[in-house]
Amino acid sequence: MNKAFYLILLIGLASCGRERPPVTPGDVSIASVVQSNYKNDYTHEVSVQVNGDNLTINSTGLPDHKTPYWGKGHEMYEEFPGRNHANMNTSMISFNYSMTIPILPNESSFKEETELGPVGMALNGVPIYNDYEGGGLLQENAWGTFDASGGHPGPREDYHYHSEGAYLTVDDANLIGFLRDGFPVYGRKDMDDSYPADLDENGGHTGVTSDFAEGIYHYHVSNEVYSTSGLYVIKSGAYHGTKGTFTQ
Ligand SMILES: [Zn+2]
Ligand SMILES: [Zn+2]
């Protein structure tokens, strides 16, 4: 009787295990690069904590640079670029963001699509979004409200980046942040000043970067102009690895 019970329990556990295979850690640690690159010397705090096999990055989500969204009169106010203009949300508010990512990120056999909302965090603590806005793919009504850094606040006054821009990356090989699967994101170029030619459908490839001499999978800002925006979107498509959490 007892044996039968435990057998059923074991079978049950085994089948649960098959639905969600354990994540096998990769072999390149991102810990020191994350700890040394996430900014912590601004008026808004960005901090990094080690929690077992994960890193948790906390931020307010407010940018450390000029943007019209600070509002006229603010010391970091600047005009919109070109013909851009404010959206309904002309201000930004502060959040208690926490992004938890694996110290040893690894490829996932299931490539989960990125979603609306934060898909990663820039080194200054600002969330990175993909090429979607509420309602679907980015349209002119959205990119027409971007500041010079490819950012704007959403309906919740939550400032975030969608595209390449001043203060972040412009046609270079800068490290700009990490996505929720723990893999880093760089500008359009590799460290040898060339544009990568072997990116996979998720905008990444494995190779050496200025931060990872032994090589690591990393994403690049798209080198194709997005629609008629004249902008280069940071991320589209799926995650390469297993997505961690991003709470607010
Ligand atoms: Zn947006
Ligand atoms: Zn690369």
Sign of CA dihedral 29, 39, 193, 118: positive
Q: Say how many Å lie between the CA of residue 127 and the centre of ligand 1.
A: 10
| Residue 176 clears pLDDT 60, i.e. is over it | yes
Closest ligand (CA of 152): 1
The first and second tokens of residue 156, run together, are: 């919740």
User: Whole-model pTM?
Assistant: 0.90
Closest ligand (CA of 158): 1
Buried b (16+ CB within 10 A) or exposed e, 198-209: eeeebbbbeeeb
Closest ligand (CA of 217): 2
**How far is residue 79's CA from residue 66's CA, in Å, rounded to a whole number?**
9
Q: What is the pLDDT of residue 90?
A: 76
| Residue 21 clears pLDDT 70, i.e. is over it | no
Q: Say how many Å lie between the CA of residue 191 and the centre of ligand 2.
A: 8
The first and second tokens of residue 13, run together, are: 């556990």
Mean pLDDT of 142-168: 95
CA distances to 121, 173, 220 from 46, in Å: 11, 23, 23
Q: Say how many Å lie between the CA of residue 194 and the centre of ligand 1.
A: 29
CA distances to 90, 91, 169, 239 from 156, in Å: 11, 10, 25, 25
Q: Say how many Å lie between the CA of residue 133 and the centre of ligand 1.
A: 5
Closest ligand (CA of 156): 1
Phi, psi of 22 (to 5 degrees): -65, 150
Range of the domain at 53: 1-248
| Residue 184 clears pLDDT 60, i.e. is over it | yes
Pick the most confident of 1-15, 39-53, 222-236: 222-236
Total of domains in the chain: 1
Q: Are 229 and 143 in contact (CB under 8 A)?
A: yes
Q: Say how many Å lie between the CA of residue 238 and the centre of ligand 1.
A: 18
